Structure 1
Amino acid sequence: MTTALLVAAFLMGFLGSPHCLGMCGGLVAAFSLSMQDVSPAKRRRLIATYHFGRLVSYSVLGLIAGVIGTTVLEPLMKGNSTPRILLGLVLVFVGVTMLGMPFLNKLERVGMRFWQYLSPIRQKVFPLNTYPRALAAGLLWGYLPCGLVYGALLIAVVAHNPLGGAALMFVFGLGTVPMLVATHETVGWLREKIGRFRLRQLNGVLMVLSGMAVIFVPMIMMAMHGGHGDHDAHGDHTQMSHSSPSVMVSDAGNLSHHGTSPMTDAPHDSLHSTDEHSETMAHAQ
Structure 2
Amino acid sequence: MTTALLVAALLMGFFGSPHCLGMCGGLVTAFGLSMKDASPAKRRALVATYHLGRLSSYALLGLIAGLIGTTVLAPLMMGNSMPRILLGLVLVFVGVTMLGAPFLNKLERFGMRFWQYLSPLRQKVFPLNTFPRALTAGLLWGFLPCGLVYGALLIAVVAHNPLNGAALMFVFGLGTIPMLVATHETVGWLRDKIGRFRLRQLNGAVMVISGLAVAVVPMVMSSMHGGHDMSNMHGDHMQMSDSEMMDMPMDADMDHSSHHMMPADDNTSHQGMDHSMHDMSDASMDMNHNEHSETMEHAQ
Q: Please indicate the TM-score interval, normalised by the length of the shorter structure.
A: 0.7 to 0.9
Q: Residue 173 of structure 2 corresponds to which residue in structure 1?
A: 173
Letter of the 2:109 counterpart? R
Q: Residue 270 of structure 1 corresponds to which residue in structure 2?
A: none
Q: Residue 98 of structure 2 corresponds to which residue in structure 1?
A: 98
Structure 1: 5+ residue runs without aligned partners? Answer: 250-285
Equivalent residues in 2 for 1:70-89 (5 A)? 70-89=70-89
Q: Residue 204 of structure 2 corresponds to which residue in structure 1?
A: 204
Q: Deviations over 1:164-183 (max 9, x none)?
A: 00000000000000000000
Aligned partner of residue 79 in structure 1, secondary structure: coil
Which segment is superposed worse, 17-26 or 87-96?
Answer: 87-96
Letter of the 1:49 counterpart? T
Moved over 4 A (4+): 241-246
Which segment is superposed worse, 18-27 or 68-77?
Answer: 68-77
Q: Residue 61 of structure 1 corresponds to which residue in structure 2?
A: 61
Report how many aligned residue pairs link the two structures: 252
- Quote how far apart the aligned CAs of 1:66 are: 0.4
- Quote how far apart the aligned CAs of 1:194 are: 0.3
Equivalent residues in 2 for 1:13-24 (5 A)? 13-24=13-24
The whole-number CA distance in structure 2 between the counterparts of 1:51 and 1:75 is 36
The whole-number CA distance in structure 2 between the counterparts of 1:223 and 1:27 is 52
- Quote how far apart the aligned CAs of 1:235 are: 3.1
Q: Deviations over 1:50-79 (max 9, x none)?
A: 101100000000000001111111112222
Q: Residue 237 of structure 2 corresponds to which residue in structure 1?
A: 237
Structure 2: 5+ residue runs without aligned partners? Answer: 251-300
* 2:185 aligned with 1:188: no
- Quote how far apart the aligned CAs of 1:212 are: 1.0
The whole-number CA distance in structure 2 between the counterparts of 1:166 and 1:236 is 51
Q: Residue 276 of structure 1 corresponds to which residue in structure 2?
A: none
- Quote how far apart the aligned CAs of 1:240 are: 3.7
Q: Residue 143 of structure 2 corresponds to which residue in structure 1?
A: 143
Which segment is superposed worse, 83-92 or 109-118?
Answer: 83-92
* 2:225 aligned with 1:225: yes
Relative to the length of structure 1, the TM-score reads 0.84
Q: Percent identity?
A: 81
Equivalent residues in 2 for 1:92-171 (5 A)? 92-171=92-171
Q: Deviations over 1:207-262 (max 9, x none)?
A: 1111111111011001111011012213333444555658x98xxxxxxxxxxxxx
* 2:35 aligned with 1:49: no
The whole-number CA distance in structure 2 between the counterparts of 1:165 and 1:135 is 22
The whole-number CA distance in structure 1 between the counterparts of 2:42 and 2:215 is 49
